[in-house]
Amino acid sequence: MEPAVQQKFEALLARREAGEPVAYLTGEREFWSLPLAVNSYTLIPRPETETLIEWALDLPLPADAQVMDLGTGSGAIALALASERPRWQVVAIDASEEALTVARSNASTCNLQRVQMLQSDWFEGVTGSQFNLLVSNPPYVDSADVHLQQGDVRFEPQSALVSADNGLADIAHIIDKAPKHLLAAGWLLLEHGFAQGAAVRQLLASRGFTEVTTRSDLAGLERISGGRWHAER
């Protein structure tokens, strides 16, 4: 082995020994068969989020549906949807410009530059815009959750993981503000923790969403909840 190669290998080995995720060492993680770059500014895409993609693709949306991904990170959700529905007009937002840099690069790599990437703290930067579908994998982990001290999440951006009010603050904010940004009969789909399904369904129903339900991931855990918005109540 060349000395330079050995040095690089040993450096990577030391980082892995310290627990750093393999995805950050290689700089890539596949999601929905798309090769996505990731770094410490983005969450590492996970298989359970593909449950959200499957549900979104099942919805009775227009062929040219307007779709927005809130908190896009690496762009995983937005790019997966755009890859499956070429006529959908997809917007991806994130508060982190560093994350958006990664998402834009991934859009280019996947030849999906038509996905519009915007910096916005949730809905603040898209005032007046309305969509047929809103999707999000928002922060939903409670700050006291012991899992934050375990595994890959120790190295992932806490701002993309942790939320106040037992992990429900950002989810509640999105549900409350979403109706103003949904077209008639539009849908909202949200990823959440495996024990948060009942709480999220209650938030959706209380805000006036109908057809509220939850889908489980491949492990059988409640993972994605959503509902349909018909009219202001």
Give the CATH number of the domain where residue 56 resides.
3.40.50.150
Residue 178 bridge partners (DSSP):
none
- Give me the number of domains the chain comprises: 1
What pTM did the predictor assign?
A: 0.92
CB 38 within 8 A of CB 29: yes
Q: In the Cβ-directed half-sphere of 20, how many Cα atoms lie within 13 Å?
A: 15
Alpha carbon separation from 43 to 29, 52, 198 (Å, rounded): 10, 16, 25
CA–CA distance, 132 with 162 (Å, rounded to integer): 28
- Residue closest to 137 by CA, chosen among 214, 220, 224: 224
- Residue closest to 188 by CA, chosen among 164, 169, 207: 207
> Tens place of pLDDT for every residue, the chain, 233 residues?
899 999 999 999 999 999 999 999 999 999 999 999 999 999 999 999 999 999 999 999 999 999 999 999 999 999 999 999 999 999 999 999 999 999 999 999 999 999 999 999 999 989 889 999 999 999 999 888 887 888 888 888 888 889 889 999 999 999 999 999 999 999 999 999 999 999 999 999 999 999 999 999 999 999 999 999 986 54
CB 7 within 8 A of CB 15: no
pLDDT in tens, 195-205: 999 999 999 99
Task: Give the domain extent around 124.
Answer: 3-229
CA–CA distance, 38 with 30 (Å, rounded to integer): 10
Angle at 181 (CA atoms; ends 126, 116), nearest 5 degrees: 45
If 0-12 CB within 10 Å is exposed, 13-18 middle and 19+ buried, where does residue 229 land? Answer: buried
pLDDT in tens, 52-96: 999 999 999 999 999 999 999 999 999 999 999 999 999 999 999
Q: What is the dihedral of CA 147, 151, 152, 153, to 10 degrees?
A: 20
